[in-house]
Every structure is written in C-alpha cells, then in structure tokens.
Amino acid sequence: MLIYKSEEEIELLRESNFLVSKTLAEVARLIKPGVTTLKLDKVAEEFIRDHRGEPGFKGYNGFPNTLCTSVNDEVVHGIPSSYRLKQGDIVSIDCGVILNGYYGDSAFTFPVGTVQEKIGKLLACTRESLVKGVEKAVEGKRLGDIGFAIQQHAESGGFSVVREMVGHGLGKNLHEPPEVPNYGKRGKGIKLTRGLVICIEPMINLGLRNISQDKDGWTIRTIDKLPSAHFEYAVAIQKGKPDILSTFDYIDEILNK
C-alpha cells in the first residue's frame, strides 16, 4: 500500500534528507588515496549524531555500519572496511539517517584522484540518468516514465542498467512501496500522485548489467568485475516540477575546490 505524506511530513523528510546531503559532503572532504572506507564511515556517523540524527542503515536488517561504501565493481551495499582507497578507484557512498522519525537516503559515486576516461564517463552518465529520471517525477506521470528516461540515457551512453536493485518509497520506513526500477516503459506503472516520496537511484554498469552477491550477505558486485556507478536522490511528487529533497550542491563545492 502506498503511503502519502502531508506537507508537514514532507518538510520533516526535507530535513532528514538535508542532513544526509551535508553528511555526504563531510565524507567528500576526506575522499583521497590512502583513506579507509571505515574512516569515512566513522566520520559520517559522528556527523549525523552531532546533528541529532541517527544512522539509518546501522542495524537495518543487521547491516553493520552507517555508510554503504561500494568500490569499483561493487554496485551497492558494500561494507566499510580497512580497505584503503587508491588512485583511480571509484567509490559509491550511500548514506541514510533517521531524524524526527523520518528517513533520509542519498548516494553519490566519487572518483578517487584521477580515473580512466571511460570511468569518468560512466560517473557523468549515471548522474545525468538520475537527473533525467527525476525530471519525470511529477504528478500525473507514471513510474515507467522515470525508469524509461533513466534506461534511455544510460543505454545511449553505451552502459547497462542493473535490474535486480531498485529505488523505493521513503518515509517513516527506509523502504516503502513502490519499487522504483531504473528501466521501464513510458506510460506504464502506477500514476504518480502528490504526497508520494520516492528515492530514485540508478545503478549503472560499464559492462554487463548482471550482478551477484558476496558471501558476506550484503555486497552486490558486477559479474564481469567492471565498475558500476550509483547516484540517489529523494524526491517528493508535486504538481508541475519535481521537489528534490536531496542536494549534491555541498558535494560539488568540495569537489570543485
């Protein structure tokens, strides 16, 4: 069953998602060769708690950490570790918080130093795909319009779309209906209605779209071991134009310094 949010609830969700956006920017400051993903996790957890939030992923279905840190061929749900990021890596940082009973959830994939040109293109194309999808997240459109726009952009860039992992509704729960696939057909799926809040999160692969799960029960990676990128925004469905509850502005400020 879909859960529609009041204007007050959307403002609370905006605050939760703002904290996630600020946390991702704190992490962005530290991303360079030599830093461990566990260090990034610690900084994120401290920042969230300093701002009266709680990590949203820690303990969720038993997930051990605050961030999902997914390096190179890891698509999503990577567990922070003593692995030191190195020049040429990419790392998806996915962050969730709970603030005032409502979840925030957003992700960004960072280059570590300079990356190969084709990997840079993968990052740019995945971020653009997210924007293309978000443009369709307005009242009156359908879920399939979002997936279609993402798939169209990613595939025309020569990349492939992960099918098994999808976006989701967001509210008092981290994952609510509906599922939000990153592929689809125009005009198909449920009609988007005001009050729906969804996370749109394309996971786009350089090579084959196929994935597998590690024995740790979490880490999802590409079967051909080629890199994968992931960007995520939370969006409230409104009339006229998408109301994006997340922002990458603070991350861009850090990256463009």
- Residue closer to Mg ion by CB (options 73, 105) is 105
Shortest CB 113 distance to Mg ion, Å? 24
Residue 86 and residue 214: Cα distance in Å, rounded? 22
Residue 33 and residue 24: Cα distance in Å, rounded? 18
- Residue closer to Mg ion by CB (options 60, 113) is 60
Residue 167 and residue 231: Cα distance in Å, rounded? 11
Structure tokens at 128: 């653009």
Shortest CB 116 distance to Mg ion, Å? 26
Binding segment (CB under 5 A) for Mg ion, from list 4-12, 22-30, 87-95, 116-124: 87-95
Task: Number of residues interacting with Mg ion: please give it, by CB under 5 A.
Answer: 5
Binding segment (CB under 5 A) for Mg ion, from list 49-57, 126-134, 193-201, 222-230: 193-201
Shortest CB 201 distance to Mg ion, Å? 5
Nearest to 204 by CA among 143, 118, 103: 118
Residues 6+ apart with CB under 8 A from 217: none
Which of 107, 112, 206, 220 binds Mg ion (CB under 5 A)? It is 107
Adjacency order of strands within the sheet including 74-76: 74-76, 220-222, 211-213
Which of 40, 199, 226, 245 binds Mg ion (CB under 5 A)? It is 199
Shortest CB 196 distance to Mg ion, Å? 15
- For the chain, what is the largest distance between any 2 Cα atoms, rounded to a whole number of angstroms? 47
- Residue closer to Mg ion by CB (options 26, 186) is 26
Output the 3-class SS for 220-236.
EEECCCCCEEECEEEEE
Q: Is 176 in the site for Mg ion (CB under 5 A)?
A: no
Q: Is 94 in the site for Mg ion (CB under 5 A)?
A: yes
Residue 132 and residue 197: Cα distance in Å, rounded? 17
Binding segment (CB under 5 A) for Mg ion, from list 25-33, 48-56, 154-162, 192-200: 192-200
C-beta of residue 60 within 8 angstroms of C-beta of residue 174: yes
Q: Is 198 in the site for Mg ion (CB under 5 A)?
A: no
C-beta of residue 2 within 8 angstroms of C-beta of residue 169: yes
For β-strands 74-76 and 67-71, DSSP reports them as: unpaired
- Residue closer to Mg ion by CB (options 123, 199) is 199
Which of 74, 89, 105, 145 binds Mg ion (CB under 5 A)? It is 105
Note the residues at the interface with Mg ion (CB under 5 A).
Answer: 94, 105, 107, 199, 232
